[in-house]
Amino acid sequence: MIKAVIFDLDDTLIPENKYVESGFNIVSKYLEQQYSGKSEDIYKELICLYKENSKNVFNRWFDKKQIKYTMEEIKQIVKVYREHKPTIEFYSDVIPTIKKLKEKNIKIGIITDGYVETQKAKLQSLNAYSIFDEIVITDELGRQYWKPHPRAFEIMKKKLNIEFEEMIYVGDNPEKDFYIGSLYPIACVRICRNDCIYGDKKYKNEFREKYKIKNLNELMEKI
């Protein structure tokens, strides 16, 4: 019998690109104040650079503008980005699904990777701490405990006082979200939404999910 459903956060409960847009919006205002240009234009430039390649966007923005910069300045911009209070929302199927799970007395949790300040800001903005029974940010345990490390799942089992057999984990990333199913008898569900960004990623150790769904409405059929 399933007693708890644990969710990944990014691209499972929220679209991560909305967070990126929200962060670039704040950073573009910061860059306008500190350097030059209009924030609307800077925002478009950052998005454009990000679409080309998600790495080192701020460094590349300075290069493109031919503005000299130091690593300290980059660190400060990254801090503005990571610590900003994001304007983000759950996908529309999240709250109705949570309601159905709660009606069935099924506990709900989140296990998420990502930088701790960033993930906390997202969770606070979503009011997630009062909606979910337990939340584990793997980065709080240490970088080595990010998924697919099993530690967060062991902690969740203990906190919810349930067995692994009674847990479902819903995630989107084949590189790290389903491997736990090979270590413990947790039923893993892959959610592949319309904007499925990890569609072509390889499965960690070729280990696959138990179920595949397109949205959370389909989840209730698996419980």
Q: Any contact of residue 8 with Mg ion (CB under 5 A)?
A: yes
Q: How far is the CB of 175 from Mg ion (least distance, A)?
A: 10
CA 29 to chain centre: 24
Q: How far is the CB of 18 from Mg ion (least distance, A)?
A: 13
Q: Any contact of residue 113 with Mg ion (CB under 5 A)?
A: no
Please give the backbone phi and psi of residue 35, each rounded to the nearest 5 degrees, phi first: -125, -115
Q: Any contact of residue 209 with Mg ion (CB under 5 A)?
A: no
d(CA 88, CA 128): 12
d(CA 5, CA 39): 41
Determine how many CB atoms are found less than 10 A away from the CB of residue 61.
24
Q: Which is nearer to Mg ion, 138 or 173 (CB)?
A: 173
Q: How far is the CB of 16 from Mg ion (least distance, A)?
A: 7
Q: Which is nearer to Mg ion, 10 or 45 (CB)?
A: 10
Question: How many angstroms separate the Cα of 159 from the Cα of each of 117, 124, 146, 164, 189?
Answer: 22, 20, 18, 12, 21
Q: How far is the CB of 197 from Mg ion (least distance, A)?
A: 9
Kindly tell me which residue out of 7, 10, 168, 187 binds Mg ion, with binding defined by CB under 5 A: 10
Is residue 143 packed enough to be buried (19+ CB in 10 Å), middle (13-18) or exposed (0-12)?
exposed
Q: Which is nearer to Mg ion, 11 or 166 (CB)?
A: 11
Determine how many CB atoms are found less than 10 A away from the CB of residue 111.
23
Sites for Mg ion among residues 137-176 (CB under 5 A): 172-173
For residues 8 and 77, the answer to whether their CB atoms sit within 8 Å is no
Q: How far is the CB of 36 from Mg ion (least distance, A)?
A: 36
Q: Which is nearer to Mg ion, 77 or 121 (CB)?
A: 121
Q: Which is nearer to Mg ion, 61 or 171 (CB)?
A: 171
d(CA 128, CA 7): 12
Q: How far is the CB of 66 from Mg ion (least distance, A)?
A: 36
Q: Which is nearer to Mg ion, 43 or 169 (CB)?
A: 169
In the complex, the residues that contact Mg ion under the rule CB under 5 A are: 8, 10-11, 172-173
